[in-house]
Chain A
């Protein structure tokens, strides 16, 4: 099984972002997804700088994917998307149907990100006919449903599972980080740069429940499927995705790699626990409320 490092979903300053990828070049991940996919106002790097970064990672032996924005509202974003889809250097990961359309018309293979609504084998087959060569299952898809899609996948299509990270749950035209600051979106002052892992919301009785990340809302708990590694192996999925966080991502990657290479799963899982800010969750995998956690292997 290969490891994919998902795109950085949070607003990190340029230096932090570049330092992160400088380190990631040495991590045991096979694939790295690049691009600002949540809010284009963040614009830490421009298109050419992302490509340069891609070359740097490719030179370090990584497969590089360019990830497209999750929500496209304006013509300007669409024009940037088109340029991204027309790049002939790296595989593109589509995160909305606009990107799917532009990529399907280009005649080259493309990947589907976890934001595409691929929930059944026929949908996967229709997209594969149009060039989709890899899909990242929506994190809320239960194990049984995932297994069925994977079992019936078209020849040559690879399956990826979102295995670690806070789960992106919803997107809006509104910026909830700006709202938390009582600011309007157009005058947000890039408030999200203060939150390297998003901004944690609690229920009124003190339970951490959600994370605000600009226009994106995530789970407060970190999806952790390392305890399900045997089940994932049995399914035969080709890839696991790890979503970056501001600290300990290297430890997370190495724990997954070690577990995949045969290290004691309990010990690897324990290493991960120290990397999880609020607590783990795996409910979606079991077809249960996503915030729940069974943890141990069933």
Chain B
């Protein structure tokens, strides 16, 4: 699976086109410079990053970029033909709106290749003050229809949109055909079972959620306790799950907890699992999807390197083999090993629960 950095990768047009059978762009996460270098060195077409505060949806301690690091990352990527997108995808309030708008200006100065935004005020500011800066609509904007996409396209010139992980493959096909903007979908990583950008489950129990705070189940509200009944995970004091001896203890995300209903204790929303759409790559390409996004800015550089390498190989194989493409078992095994809960799912793209 050895891939040379940037070798033979065509430049894309930044998301203005959604024409079919174009090579899909591989968009990889970077929570810091080492991860950015890992993504670039292992075959990402684009890397997405965030500033070191709550202006993005991965506001975790020790993660993200200050302006100097962002400049260094952009230079490193650009020298190797890789684009850098900056996520400014949380929702500012009146008291901190200026910080978000300032972040837009800073990103424009840094020369990022696109901004990934959700809030209308942020989009409006970018459109007015930096009309040449390409705008991508974040998954946090929860746009699930061509009508919603048209709103953001017409009013703010959005060129590309990341779809919530709730649509089926057939729905994505229909959407791409009618969308005024290029479409990016999640290919691999953590799976939100709720529509992104419209979930305040974490805020109910911890006081903080992605929309306003850029974080889901913040570390300071998480506690693991050894009890006579086994290891227990809590969020804001609320019991999210209890684990049998030897059972793998997952992070206490509200939608991945086990709750009691009548006499049963069960995963009320979803088993802990990760999204993996490798099997769907040919269908996504046929549908005209422009880019595949890998989730995980909070993951290690080694993780980013491994996942990027596999997805680069898969996209290259898809380009070479077309309809004959079949994911290699070794890729699937490696991705499953890297996944939360050591299980993967096709998510809503394929709907066994439907």
Contacts and interface: CB of A to CB of B under 8 A. Distances in A.
Interface of A: 70-75, 78, 81, 96-102, 104, 115, 117, 119-123, 126-127, 130, 138-141, 144-145, 148-149, 152, 167, 169-174, 176, 178-180, 184-186, 199-207, 209-210, 212, 217, 219, 283-284, 287-291
Q: Is the interface of B mostly helix, strand, loop or mixed?
A: mixed
A120 B121 contact: yes
B208 to A, nearest CB: 9
4 closest Cβ contacts across the A-B interface?
A: A148-B94, A122-B121, A173-B166, A101-B151
Given A119-B93, A173-B348, A289-B207, A73 B268 contact: no
A97 to B, nearest CB: 4
A173 B195 CA distance: 8
Contacts of A149: 94
Interface of A is mostly: mixed
A291 B193 CA distance: 21
Interface in B86-123: 91-95, 97, 118-121
B9 to A, nearest CB: 34
Contacts of B147: 72, 78, 81, 97-99, 101-102
Contact of A130 (B121, B155, B193, B269): B155
26 contacts: A72-B147, A72-B148, A97-B151, A98-B144, A98-B148, A101-B147, A101-B148, A101-B151, A117-B198, A119-B93, A120-B97, A122-B120, A126-B120, A141-B93, A167-B200, A167-B204, A172-B269, A173-B167, A174-B353, A176-B269, A201-B261, A212-B268, A219-B204, A289-B206, A290-B200, A290-B204
A145 B93 contact: yes
Given A176-B269, A204-B259, A120 B193 contact: no
B236 A289 contact: yes
A96 B198 CA distance: 10
Given A145-B94, A173-B348, A209-B238, A119 B148 contact: no
Nearest to A219: B204
Contacts of B97: 120-122
A209 B119 contact: no
Contact of A140 (B150, B203, B205): B203
Nearest to B265: A204
A149 B97 CA distance: 11
Contacts of A119: 91-93, 119, 211-212
A97 B201 contact: no
B91 A73 contact: no
B354 A184 contact: yes
Contacts of B198: 70, 115, 117, 170-171
A149 B260 CA distance: 39
A117 B354 contact: no
Given A73-B167, A126-B120, A140-B209, 19 more contacts: A73-B166, A73-B171, A119-B211, A120-B93, A127-B120, A139-B200, A152-B94, A169-B199, A174-B166, A180-B268, A184-B353, A185-B351, A204-B242, A204-B265, A212-B261, A283-B204, A283-B207, A289-B204, A290-B203
Contacts of B265: 204
Contact of A174 (B92, B93, B193): B193
Interface in B142-176: 142-148, 150-152, 154-155, 166-168, 171, 174
Contacts of A201: 259-261, 268
B152 A169 contact: no
Interface in B185-204: 193-195, 197-201, 203-204
